[in-house]
Amino acid sequence: MATWWQNAVVYQVYPRSFQDSNGDGIGDLNGIREHLTYIRDLGATVIWLNPVYATPNADNGYDISDYQAINPEFGTMADFQALLADAHALGLRIVMDLVVNHTSDEHPWFVESRRSRDNAKRDYYIWRDPVAGHAPNQWGGGFGGSAWQWDEATGQYYLHLFATKQPDLNWENPAMRADVYAMMRWWLDAGVDGFRMDVINFISKPADLTSGASFVNGPHVHEYLQEMNQAVLAGREVMTVGETPGVTPAQALQYAGFDSGELNMVFTFQHMDLGLDREYGRWVQHPWSLVELKRIMSQWQVALHGKAWNSLYWNNHDQPRVVSRFGNDAPQWRVQSAKLLAAVLHCLQGTPYIYQGEELGMTNAYHLASIADYRDIETVNAYQELVIDQHKLTPTQMLAGMHASSRDNARTPMQWTAAANAGFTTGTPWLAVNPNHATINAAAEAADADSVLAWYRQLTALRRELPIIVEGDYELLLPDDPQVWAYRRHWQGQTLNVVANFGTEPVTREAADLPGEVVLANYPAPHGTTLRGYEVRVSLQK
Ligand code: ISL
Ligand code: CA
């Protein structure tokens, strides 16, 4: 029997960009409350909220200055309690972002820690003496520069795997860990339903920081997660999903195997890393191959079946819009390719995650025309480094990379209506609304039975009707086919067949003529061996 979080469909809300309720141009908690029925009617059962805590906003809330306070831009603790109560009344659970690899440098723990070498909180963070006059090792910060910041007052470096304003916590300190666990219990006692754990596989650093060793999947990470499970999660009906860059299926079994005593799920990055450049990462894009995408997704399906549970996602607040990345956002193909991607993902085994606006087929943000239009710290810092300081990319090359891959592609405001600012705000939005909201918006799609939104509702309904979607195993067909993804699921004598043409050109394949009853199709008369541009078909044999 599947658990509630295995049957769940998660809807990810990026609060800053979802709905502004008071005209300051920034989405907020009361704005989310206005759209809870929209989320329920989509068929989602869980909301994952990106960070809503007090923050100086160096990294849009991933730099937390108080874990037990709400960012005043988003509202108050009373607003949060009201949101939670409204959600629960509609049968929606709320999962919080848990960011405990690092805090803000304005968190009181760090303010104390940097005061003096013998401060009681000194050891809550990772301080090191210089080595031969410079930083202890070559690690780069996630948003540019060194991962080590020199602190003049106490004459040591502190470690920050992300921005300078995001010092890494020292998980080797038991008092620090106990404080984190107490904070987690406090939120669970307040009624939240689980945690999405930010870069949770980075928390244990290697003992020898000079060696050039890696901070990914460090030596004590499994001990810490088992301890956290015992101290916080055990015996509660909660859902946990770890964000785990660089993790393989074998490592996923360690973090989230059914008997791991750690997490329920992890997010893989293997499919997100397709097409990135070795030197320039996301800023120089290469063609991606469907054969590779299928190989990665299929590996996770097979390796985890019966042993762990997949989280299924195409995009989030850090990634470009999937229709622009693995689909085709040209007007004539956008709807069909968005539907294809949704169907192919939601028919896999695992818990699907829908990132806000994905269910409308929202596209990348080509209207952001120069670096001045961007807000994301990663994008802004990379531009400074690669274009201005080092002259490694021209502004035109970099803008192409930003249009393909900047995190701001995902962060433009939610497109509710065709009206001014897409109905997101009556004020000036913190990040420019995409002008394509004139045609791509929730109001128009709610009134259109052929819309991407209507399709997502069908997919979540299908999941409720057909247990094979949650329970079945997975078999990849035609692994080397460069244009068609075809797979089967098997369960109790039933077979679910999925076939999808990832191109604009029609293709003819024997496997396209699906046996059984067609339960979902994005073209009329879905029969025969020829698949039209971005055609997807799903059938069930009983
Ligand atoms: O976006 C990325 C690559 O450009 C990722 O490497 C990302 O930095 C990584 O997945 C960690 O992301 C998480 O932690 C960051 C935060 O900025 C992201 O928004 C968050 O999802 C630091 O807290
Ligand atoms: Ca607001």
Please check whether residue 51 is in contact with residue 97, taking contact to mean a CB–CB distance below 8 angstroms.
yes
Atom of ligand 1 nearest to the CA of 243: 10
Dist. CA 330 → ligand 2 center (Å): 32
Joined tokens for residue 79 = 């607003």
C-alpha distances in Å from residue 239, one per residue of 183, 261, 463: 17, 13, 19
Please check whether residue 133 is in contact with residue 74, taking contact to mean a CB–CB distance below 8 angstroms.
no
Smallest CA separation from ligand 1 atom 23, residue: 62
- Rounded Cα distance between 148 and 442, Å, is 45
- Rounded Cα distance between 192 and 85, Å, is 10
- Residue 279 designated active-site: no
Atom of ligand 1 nearest to the CA of 62: 23
The predicted pLDDT at position 212 comes to: 79
Nearest to 26 by CA among 69, 56, 71, 81: 71
Atom of ligand 1 nearest to the CA of 281: 4
Ligand nearest to the CA of 382: 1
- Rounded Cα distance between 316 and 319, Å, is 5
Sequential DSSP letters for 366-433: TT--SGGG---HHHHHHHIIIIIIS--S-HHHHHHHHHHH-THHHHSPP---SSGGGGT-SS--SSPP
Ligand 1: which residues within 6 Å by Cβ?
59, 62, 99, 142, 162, 198-199, 243, 245, 282, 317-318, 378, 407
Q: Report the residue count for the chain.
A: 542
Which residues have C-beta within 8 Å of that of residue 42, sequence separation ≥ 6?
A: 9, 11, 354, 359, 453, 456, 457, 460
Dist. CA 72 → ligand 2 center (Å): 9
Dist. CA 318 → ligand 1 center (Å): 6
Dist. CA 536 → ligand 1 center (Å): 32
Residue with tokens 């200055």: 65
Mutate which of 62, 169, 283 to test ligand 1's pocket (most atoms within 8 Å of Cβ)? 62
In tens, the pLDDT along 425-445 reads 999 999 999 999 999 999 999
- Residue 262 designated active-site: no
Other C-beta atoms lying within 10 Å of the C-beta of residue 369: 12
- Rounded Cα distance between 97 and 61, Å, is 10
C-alpha distances in Å from residue 288, one per residue of 1, 325, 326: 37, 9, 8
The predicted pLDDT at position 484 comes to: 98
Residue 114 is which amino acid? R
Other C-beta atoms lying within 10 Å of the C-beta of residue 506: 12
- Rounded Cα distance between 22 and 19, Å, is 9
Atom of ligand 1 nearest to the CA of 102: 23
Please check whether residue 145 is in contact with residue 192, taking contact to mean a CB–CB distance below 8 angstroms.
no
Dist. CA 28 → ligand 2 center (Å): 5
- Rounded Cα distance between 349 and 344, Å, is 11
Joined tokens for residue 218 = 């460090």
Smallest CA separation from ligand 1 atom 16, residue: 62
Ligand nearest to the CA of 74: 2
Dist. CA 430 → ligand 2 center (Å): 10
> Does residue 84 sit in helix, strand or coil?
helix
Ligand nearest to the CA of 425: 2
Atom of ligand 1 nearest to the CA of 142: 8
Atom of ligand 1 nearest to the CA of 318: 1
Other C-beta atoms lying within 10 Å of the C-beta of residue 481: 17
- Rounded Cα distance between 534 and 483, Å, is 10
Any idea of the CA torsion for 512, 515, 518, 521, to the nearest 10 degrees?
-10
Mutate which of 161, 199, 203, 385 to test ligand 1's pocket (most atoms within 8 Å of Cβ)? 199
Domains in the chain, please, with CATH?
4-102+174-455 (3.20.20.80), 108-159 (3.90.400.10), 473-541 (2.60.40.1180)
- Which of 63, 97, 193, 243 is catalytic? The answer is 243
Ligand nearest to the CA of 30: 2
The predicted pLDDT at position 210 comes to: 78
Q: What is the pLDDT along the chain (542 residues), one digit of tens a residue?
A: 799 999 999 999 999 999 999 999 999 999 999 999 999 999 999 999 999 999 999 999 999 999 999 999 999 999 999 999 999 999 999 999 999 999 999 999 999 999 999 999 999 999 999 999 999 999 999 999 999 999 999 999 999 999 999 999 999 999 999 999 999 999 999 999 999 999 999 999 999 887 778 999 999 999 999 999 999 999 999 999 999 999 999 999 999 999 999 999 999 999 999 999 999 999 999 999 999 999 999 999 999 999 999 999 999 999 999 999 999 999 999 999 999 999 999 999 999 999 999 999 999 999 999 999 999 999 999 999 999 999 999 999 999 999 999 999 999 999 999 999 999 999 999 999 999 999 999 999 999 999 999 999 999 999 999 999 999 999 999 999 999 999 999 999 999 999 999 999 999 999 999 999 999 999 999 889 999 999 999 999 99
Nearest to 213 by CA among 223, 205, 203: 205
Any idea of the CA torsion for 452, 458, 464, 466, to the nearest 10 degrees?
-120
Please check whether residue 293 is in contact with residue 487, taking contact to mean a CB–CB distance below 8 angstroms.
no
Smallest CA separation from ligand 1 atom 1, residue: 318
- Rounded Cα distance between 82 and 378, Å, is 33
Residue 227 is which amino acid? E
- Which of 97, 193, 198, 445 is catalytic? The answer is 198
The predicted pLDDT at position 211 comes to: 74
Please check whether residue 54 is in contact with residue 76, taking contact to mean a CB–CB distance below 8 angstroms.
no
Dist. CA 57 → ligand 2 center (Å): 15
Element (H, E) at 442: helix 442-446
Residue 13 is which amino acid? V
